[in-house]
């Protein structure tokens, strides 16, 4: 079992920056991929970024490339998402997920464990 707890997020004006973090516990995560997804009201949960815990390889949604950076802090067992140049379209609840690294990085069904989510709101 893996427990994931998100923190960070909040309210920011367009063009600003925010960071969200995901603290993982419960088992070793070397064989896992960690992902950030987001869900706006009335929308499906959407892939944002992912990282392989073992080799650090990263994946990004095209619309966030160059603006968002996913990283891990192995000492703290956390996964971070730094979000710059935020847009109102980035407004959503952001969820952290963990799943086997062999799964499709963009598929929410490939992630087995989820956090409770944290709200990110970008005002225009």
Q: What is the pLDDT of residues 9-27, one digit of tens each?
A: 999 999 999 999 999 998 7
Residue 86: half-sphere exposure toward Cβ, Cα within 13 Å? 22
Share of the chain above pLDDT 90, in %: 85
Q: What pLDDT is attached to residue 30?
A: 81
Q: What pLDDT is attached to residue 91?
A: 98
The stretch 39-50 carries a mean pLDDT of 96
| The dihedral formed by the CA atoms of 60, 94, 70 and 103, expressed in degrees to the nearest 10 | -60
Q: What pLDDT is attached to residue 74?
A: 85
Q: What pLDDT is attached to residue 31?
A: 85
């Amino acid at each position: 079992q893996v427990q994931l707890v998100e923190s960070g997020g909040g309210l920011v004006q367009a063009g600003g920056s925010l960071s969200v973090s995901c603290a993982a516990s419960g088992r070793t995560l070397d064989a896992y991929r960690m992902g950030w997804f987001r869900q706006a009201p009335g929308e499906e949960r959407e892939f944002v970024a992912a990282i392989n815990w073992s080799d650090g390889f990263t994946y990004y949604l095209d619309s966030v490339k160059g603006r968002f950076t996913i990283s891990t802090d192995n000492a703290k067992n956390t996964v971070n998402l730094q979000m710059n140049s935020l847009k109102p379209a980035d407004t959503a609840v952001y969820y952290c997920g963990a799943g086997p690294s062999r799964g499709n990085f963009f598929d929410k069904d490939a992630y087995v464990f989820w956090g409770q989510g944290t709200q990110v709101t970008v005002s225009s």
